[in-house]
Amino acid sequence: MASQTPALPQSYSPGTDSVFSDQSGFYSLDSNVPGLSKVILNQLSMKDYGEYRAAVEGKTKGVLFRNYKEMFQKMEETFKFCAGCNKLSKHLAKGQTLKRCVKCLNVYYCTKDCQKTDWPHHKKVCEVLRLVAIDRLVEWLMFTGDLPFSTEKWSKTPADVKGWDDWLSMQEGLTQSLDKIISGGNMATLWKNVNRTRPDDDDLRQSLWRIQSEFLSRVLTVGMAVQHFGLDPYIKPLTVHLVGVSHNETMGARLTDFDELSHMFAEHQGIEIVMVGPEVVDGPIVRPPLRAFGPKHKVYISAYKGLYHQFWEDVVEKGDAAKPDVVVGFHPGFHANQGLVEGWLPTLLLLRDYNIPSFFTMYSEMELKYSYQILLELEIRIRDSGPSPFTSQKPEQVQACPNKPPVYCNSHYVCFQGLLPQEG
Ligand SMILES: [Zn+2]
Ligand SMILES: [Zn+2]
């Protein structure tokens, strides 16, 4: 069987394609814009990635920023390089400054010439980058608690909710929720402290929805995985392991983050979510997993910092955590390079050999294609794959290559279980 599977693809070296979530991704920013990772560290007054990670995880002592203005300014600095020739501010001639594209307010240029030469490329993404520039500021409302806003009970069965339109049709209070945030104090604070004018309310409404959709996309992906494997949460409690969770997903995570599952499967027997990954950020969700069934009709979240196969050996095999009914991974990125494949290998083999229903998502069709081939190479039996109906609506800019088409979280999925049937 293995001989018939296509050869492992040459890595298409997407280092800079990926939104960085780990060390190699972080330094790969430099392969396109030499010195960009340094700019980020300098802006944050740190000396290396370890300090950056500690700050992100809230372990740094002292105050990082004196005020909101400074915080937003420093965040913006990390986007300041010429989108044409990749020059950073400090490499400009005396008196020269980087000027922002007035249409998107997202990318910068060192000279009019650079902007002119770049326009044929940039014009294809200028409008979507305008949205990204709004989102990266509005996203701050995830930290203030304005987002995510609360959602409503489902009036349809999970099988009848086939995509965002179906989901939105059940949210009668959506406009009201969005308008409440738009007229709120934190929204006012935000636009008072950034170096640009406040977009109109319609732009803000759409931006809030895009950010909320990214958050919900993860929860609905878990719901989709449960349905794909025909698991029935009305009959027995379910345990879902999330593998390779990143600092993005766990920073500021709350115990209620997966409550949408209780709207999706009303009156279920109890759903447990265990988030496992080396980048898990300390917080309320970091607590032991359940050993017995949890509360009915409720979602219980816990988290473990470490690699999944370690978690399996140290916790699951000792009986300190329930075995999973399904394992979900949000864009694991093992297609990106050999190092990451090797990092994921023990987990992928564990999932395969224990015949665990698994459901992974990707940022793009390209990522799906490469991941699919890696799974085949490992003789893993793939059940299904394709575009996801619950793709995040928020475009992700490739920070070091702003003119690359943006990608979307959970845009594609692959669903697999066990070993390929052997010919005999
Ligand atoms: Zn330039
Ligand atoms: Zn532009």
Q: Read off the pLDDT band of 326 (50, 70, 90).
A: very high
Q: Which two tokens stand for residue 98?
A: 């980087």
C-alpha 404 to ligand 2 mean position (Å): 13
Mapped onto helix, strand or coil, the DSSP state of residue 149 is coil
Which CATH number belongs to the domain containing residue 299 in this structure?
A: 3.40.50.150
Please state, in angstroms and rounded to a whole number, the distance separating the CA atoms of residues 89 and 86: 10
Of 80, 98, 130, the last residue of a domain is 130
Q: Are residues 222 and 367 in the same domain?
A: yes
The answer to whether 251 and 286 are in contact (CB under 8 A) is: no
C-alpha 277 to ligand 2 mean position (Å): 36
Residue 103 CA: which ligand is closest? 2
Please state, in angstroms and rounded to a whole number, the distance separating the CA atoms of residues 415 and 67: 46
Say which residue, 387 or 195, is predicted with more confidence: 387
Please state, in angstroms and rounded to a whole number, the distance separating the CA atoms of residues 92 and 109: 11
Most confident of 1-10, 12-21, 240-249, 355-364: 355-364
The total number of structural domains that make up the chain? 2
Residue 153 lies in a domain: no
Q: Are residues 117 and 224 in the same domain?
A: no
Q: Structural domain of residue 26, as residue ranges?
A: 16-130
C-alpha 38 to ligand 2 mean position (Å): 25
Most confident of 55-69, 101-115, 290-304: 101-115
Q: Are residues 250 and 367 in the same domain?
A: yes
pLDDT tens-digit profile of 89-146?
888 888 889 999 999 999 999 999 999 999 999 999 999 999 999 999 999 898 888 9
Q: Are residues 93 and 234 in the same domain?
A: no
C-alpha 289 to ligand 2 mean position (Å): 47
From residue 220, give the alpha-carbon distance in Å to each of 18, 279, 392. Answer: 22, 22, 10
CA dihedral for 261, 265, 270, 271, sign (positive or negative): negative
Determine the number of helices (DSSP H) and then strands (DSSP E) in the chain: 17, 9
133's torsion region: left (phi>0), alpha (psi -120 to 50) or beta? alpha
Q: Are residues 117 and 228 in the same domain?
A: no
Please state, in angstroms and rounded to a whole number, the distance separating the CA atoms of residues 276 and 315: 11
* Predicted confidence (pLDDT) at residue 335 exceeds the cutoff of 90: no
Residue 115 CA: which ligand is closest? 1
Please state, in angstroms and rounded to a whole number, the distance separating the CA atoms of residues 399 and 152: 35
pLDDT at 165: 97
Residue 122 CA: which ligand is closest? 2
C-alpha 31 to ligand 2 mean position (Å): 23
C-alpha 21 to ligand 1 mean position (Å): 28
Residue 116 CA: which ligand is closest? 1
Specify the DSSP element, H or E, that contains 177: helix 174-182
C-alpha 294 to ligand 1 mean position (Å): 58
Q: Are residues 125 and 221 in the same domain?
A: no
pLDDT at 72: 83
Model pTM greater than 0.95?
no
Note the residue count of the chain: 424
Closest CA to 137 of 193, 98, 57, 176: 193
Residue 109 CA: which ligand is closest? 1
C-alpha 133 to ligand 2 mean position (Å): 10
Closest CA to 325 of 284, 293, 296: 293
C-alpha 121 to ligand 2 mean position (Å): 10
Mean pLDDT in residue range 399-413: 91
Please state, in angstroms and rounded to a whole number, the distance separating the CA atoms of residues 44 and 332: 27
Residue 167 lies in a domain: no
Q: Which two tokens stand for residue 237?
A: 């409690």
C-alpha 127 to ligand 2 mean position (Å): 7
Residue 401 lies in a domain: yes
Closest CA to 134 of 412, 395, 411, 421: 395
Residue 315 lies in a domain: yes
Of 79, 100, 130, the last residue of a domain is 130
Of 130, 154, 186, the last residue of a domain is 130
Residue 367 lies in a domain: yes
C-alpha 407 to ligand 1 mean position (Å): 25
Residue 121 CA: which ligand is closest? 2
Specify the DSSP element, H or E, that contains 243: strand 238-243
Q: Are residues 369 and 230 in the same domain?
A: yes
